[in-house]
Chains A and B, each alone.
Chain A
Amino acid sequence: MTGLDRFLDSFFNLRVAVEYLPKIIDGFWLTILLAFCIILSGLAAGLALAVLRSLGIRPVNWLIIFVVDLFRALPPLVIIVLLYFGLPAAGLSISGFASAWLSLALVLMAFSEEIFWAGITAVPRGQWEAARSTGLTFAATLGHVVLPQAVRMVVPPLTNRTIAITKGTALASVVAVPEILGAAQAGVSFSFNPTPLTLGALAYVVLFFPVVILGRWIETRFAWKR
């Protein structure tokens, strides 16, 4: 066998590829499900915290800032492992999927709270004053006047951050979630051939390339002209 043959046999072995493709495809859908759960709950929680922060209740804001900084400081893998192996010790068992979901959602919550908050504070004071002077309540002003502008302003950084954190779904492989990377690694250890990893990489490209393109499009689309 020449070096090239060996390389092709290792990474592009057709027999192995055919055998493990279904597992990788399962992993693909699982990754999408996990990503979807993370994005939905993470962004919702981040927005909720930013809104809560805008109420300006001092002790509440200190707590929010502490939580946000904590989850921005901790490596996501540490949070996943801590939840997965730590919670059972405290009598609460948690699935690998749930611990990955919860961990990455918390991280996305923390980062998106900061981004939403930056957007809210970037809306000029005059917008609040104009709205309140017409009798709109605080909540109505926030909902109809401030948040639409704030969210629009932060779509580009939010998209980038969301993509980055969503790629962290690969970390779930550590806690035995058969998402793309997990399925690929399992394939490698059963077949003694790294081809499943090639498939995994391809699956990530198929999954994230459109997302990155979408992000780029959103960025230009939402470039804010006043």
Chain B
Amino acid sequence: MATFNLKINGKSHEVDVDPSTPMLWVLRDHLQMVGTKYGCGIAQCGACTVHLDNNAVRACQLPVSSVGDQEITTIEGLSEHGDHPVQKAWLEVDVPQCGYCQAGQIMSASALLKRNPNPSDEEIEAAMNGNICRCGTYVRIKKAIKMASNGELT
């Protein structure tokens, strides 16, 4: 066990865990932030996507000991009132079916738009290919990303 001081969603949190513990479980089990989802544990499904200093990473493969003072953003902290353009577009297009994969999809999409505000179809596909949706909402996800990138939403 070791103590780590983590910067998550603009606040600092102290946890006492094994250094190899993936951030996914630190968030879910130790900090009760369950928006970040478990789907595979091996960086294949994207359900656990968070931002590490603005980059989309898979929290299931991110040991707490490797985080250091990098800033983590989770779905709970993406916006204060759930009004990030990507979240708004998701609601406008009514993307979710079961909804389980959607936090990860939104975190991947918002990281993409941050570094590339006007992605092409191919760029969207490349950035989103690591996020699986068994319900098959891919077509709506692409539509919502385009809506958010066009600034169609106020």
**Bound pair: A and B?**
no
A interface residues with partner B (beta carbon < 8 Å): none
